Structure formats: C-alpha cells, structure tokens
Amino acid sequence: MKIGFAPHRLWPRQPDELTAVLDTARLIERLGFDHVIAGTHILSGELGLSPDPMVLLSAVAGATSRLRVVSSVLITPLYEPIVTAHQAASLDVLSNGRFVLGVGTGWDKTEFDALGVPFNERGKRTTAHLATMRALWRGESDVALGIPPHTPGGPPVWVGGNSDAALRRALRFGTAWHGSGDPTAVAAARARITELADQIDQADQADRTGQTARDPATLDLTTISILLPPGFELAGAFPGALLGGERPSKESILDEVGRLAEVGVSTCSLWAPVDAAALPDVLAWAAEVFRPDA
C-alpha cells in the first residue's frame, strides 16, 4: 500500500503553522512516502485555516523531485472548469506527471453562498465540470487549453464521496474512488461500486455528458485517515474517527491498515492532528512503522 501525508497538521490555527510545509514535504519525500495531500476551504471557518491546494501543491512540486502531489480534495463546483483544467494541466507538466486531481462536491454551504454557487447543484456541477475538464485534456473540446497536460488524457482523478451519485462519478471519470472510513465501510463502498456498474445497461452506457462507466475492477480504491500515534497529544478539535480506534496503538493502527489493504485499498493518505512542532516526529514514527525496511 502507498502511504502519503499532509505537509501540515490538520486544521492549523495560525499562518505561521504553514511556514514549514516545504521542509515537511521534503522530509516526507526523504522518508520514502508516496505523496502529499492538500485540501480546500476557501473561507476560514471554525476548523481553522486552509491554503489554496493548487498553489500549495505547486510549491511542493517545485521543492521535491519524486513525491506525488494530490488535491484532497478540490471542491470542484466552486471553480470554473476551464480554469481548473488549465491549472491542473500546468501543474501536471511542471511536476513531470506527479499531480493527482482529487475532487469532491463540498459540504460547507457558507462557501457556496459567498461565491454565489447554488449549494443544491453541487453534484450536477461537479459532474459537468469533470466532463468539461476531461474533454479539454483529451483535445475533444471546441477550444484548446493554453498548455496540454503531460499525462495523456490528463492527470489522474480521484473522485471523493460515498453517495451513489459520487460512486457513479468515480466510475465515469475517476482513476480512483477516494473515500474515508474503516475497512467495513470501504468494503461496502467497493461492493456498491460494483453493483452500480452492473446496473448500467451495456447498450446505453453513455450518460448525458458522453462519458461511459468503466470496469469497476480497474478503479483504484484510495482512502484518507486521521493518524494520532500513541504518545502524541491531540491538538485542536477532535477530528473524528482515528486510525486504529479511539485509543490507537501501533498494533491497532497496523491492523487497520492491513485490513484496508485486504479490502482493496491501494493508497492511504494521512492527516496528523498534532501541534505543528510535533509533525516531524509523527512522520518519523510512521516511517519506522509503515516502512521499516526503507
């Protein structure tokens, strides 16, 4: 299983907590991890600060040489799709194919209201935007992007969400489904993905966007988890379910990661809800536990 990390702690409260992200990204690369992730919140909310993921990942790509850079996730309906396709293609080129576009519909209505985007249209807009971006990356649009992507057909796309609509979106547009939850929840999502694919009539696979469903066996499963290793203190608000249970131990963490692999997860991304100063120690702990032979 491939393991990646966010280059800053979950829900930073002050801008100075983000100043070390490039050093942290370089450390993540040196320790042998696969990728870094960056999420989206355009407005500052109760949870904390959130830098723009495309800007942050561009900086990380320039500071590293091997590490993949993943938006986890870009709130797709809040962004104009042609601009997003151009940004993604540019980052795909400048990173030499290391960029992964993780997408989701979003959940914070305040952000939609601030941008004048109808909250109840977020799913429909996400589907339409993905169709537009894919057509642009493939050269199938009436207009051409300022730069074509490095990766043929465009960068990999991880589609987040647990609803049937999101799972169908992953089948039509994704290289991976991107979710969260314990192994039982992931196994249920995997089974539902297969059911939804089977429900699509073979004589009429194309939906209104012209995209077709894929073989569910070719869709990767990726997850995101919250890692609080034993001996580390939680900083900030409680983040929800922790990898390894309410009182995680090395053994319970490894057990859950192993069970995620058993249900088909190929990539796991981790957020650490600790003080920024403790993040390098969390990374060192994770490297010893997850990559003992690296």
Q: Please give the Cα distance from 237 to 220 (Å, whole number).
A: 31
Judge whether 77 lies within some domain. Answer: yes
DSSP 8-state symbol, 160:
E
- pLDDT of residue 48 exceeding 90: no
Judge whether 179 lies within some domain. Answer: yes
The string of pLDDT tens digits covering residues 147-194 is 999 999 999 999 999 999 999 999 999 999 999 989 999 999 999 999
Judge whether 243 lies within some domain. Answer: no
Query: Which of these, 26, 57, 47, lies nearest to 280 by C-alpha position?
Result: 26
**What burial class does residue 199 get, using C-beta atoms within 10 Å of its C-beta: 0-12 exposed, 13-18 middle, 19+ buried?**
exposed
More confident call, 12 vs 242:
242
Average confidence (pLDDT) over 209-223: 78
For 259, residues 6+ apart whose C-beta sits below 8 A from its C-beta are 182, 183
Domain count within the chain: 1
- pLDDT of residue 86 exceeding 90: yes
Judge whether 240 lies within some domain. Answer: no
CATH of the domain at 82: 3.20.20.30
pLDDT for 176 equals 98
The string of pLDDT tens digits covering residues 74-84 is 999 999 999 99
Judge whether 106 lies within some domain. Answer: yes
For 55, residues 6+ apart whose C-beta sits below 8 A from its C-beta are none
pLDDT for 238 equals 87
Entry pTM: 0.94
Judge whether 66 lies within some domain. Answer: yes
Judge whether 185 lies within some domain. Answer: yes
Cα 32–chain centre separation: 19
Domain that includes residue 138, residue range: 12-218
Judge whether 54 lies within some domain. Answer: yes
- pLDDT of residue 211 exceeding 80: no
